[in-house]
């Protein structure tokens, strides 16, 4: 299983970024996929997830600002981030799980459970 994130960068508060996660070597369409983030000195937290049926779940802190989506034909997961705030600054990780719903993944999916990418840094100033 390979998950490769891209699209991170530095942006001013109020700006937007779109993260992508390219998946390979597993049956992507049948997995629940999610975005997670970890800021320095803090625990990893769930940001947004989407299951195999397209059902989504979001952390309260990003509802209305972030949108998660998936393109099963391209084996790609996306996170559209708008109205970014300094507190959104973190390393963002893509993860996959075969056994969880979106809301379950958001709450309990953490390493070493599941499959994880290497992360992409988002900095909001």
pLDDT band, residue 26 (cuts 50/70/90): confident
- Tell me: pLDDT of 119 over 90: yes
Q: Quick one: what percent of the chain has pLDDT higher than 90?
A: 92
Contact yes or no for 33/20 (Cβ under 8 A): no
Residue 1: pLDDT above 90? no
Q: How far is CA 19 from CA 54, 67, 101, 123, in A?
A: 18, 10, 21, 13
Please report the pLDDT score of residue 27 as a whole number. 84
**pLDDT bracket for residue 52 (50, 70, 90):** very high
The pLDDT of residue 55 is: 96
- Mean model confidence pLDDT for the chain: 95
> At 115, is the pLDDT very low, low, confident or very high (cuts 50, 70, 90)?
very high
- What is the band of 70 on the pLDDT scale with cuts at 50, 70, 90? very high
The pLDDT tens digits for 3-21 are 999 999 999 999 999 999 9
Q: What is the pLDDT of residues 75-112, one digit of tens each?
A: 999 999 999 999 999 999 999 999 899 999 999 999 99
E strands, the chain, in order: 2-6, 9-11, 17-24, 32-38, 45-50, 56-58, 66-71, 76-81, 90-97, 115-116, 120-124
């Amino acid at each position: 299983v390979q998950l490769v994130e891209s699209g991170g960068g530095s942006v001013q508060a109020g700006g937007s970024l779109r993260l992508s996660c390219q998946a390979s070597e597993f049956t992507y369409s049948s997995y629940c996929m999610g975005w997670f983030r970890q800021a320095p000195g803090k625990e990893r937290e769930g940001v947004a997830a989407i299951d195999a049926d397209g059902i989504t779940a979001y952390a309260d802190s990003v509802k209305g600002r972030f949108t998660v989506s998936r393109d099963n034909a391209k084996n790609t997961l996306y996170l559209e981030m708008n109205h970014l705030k300094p507190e959104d600054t973190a390393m963002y990780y893509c993860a996959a799980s075969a056994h969880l719903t979106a809301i379950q993944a958001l709450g309990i999916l953490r390493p070493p459970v599941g499959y994880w990418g290497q992360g992409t840094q988002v900095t909001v100033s």
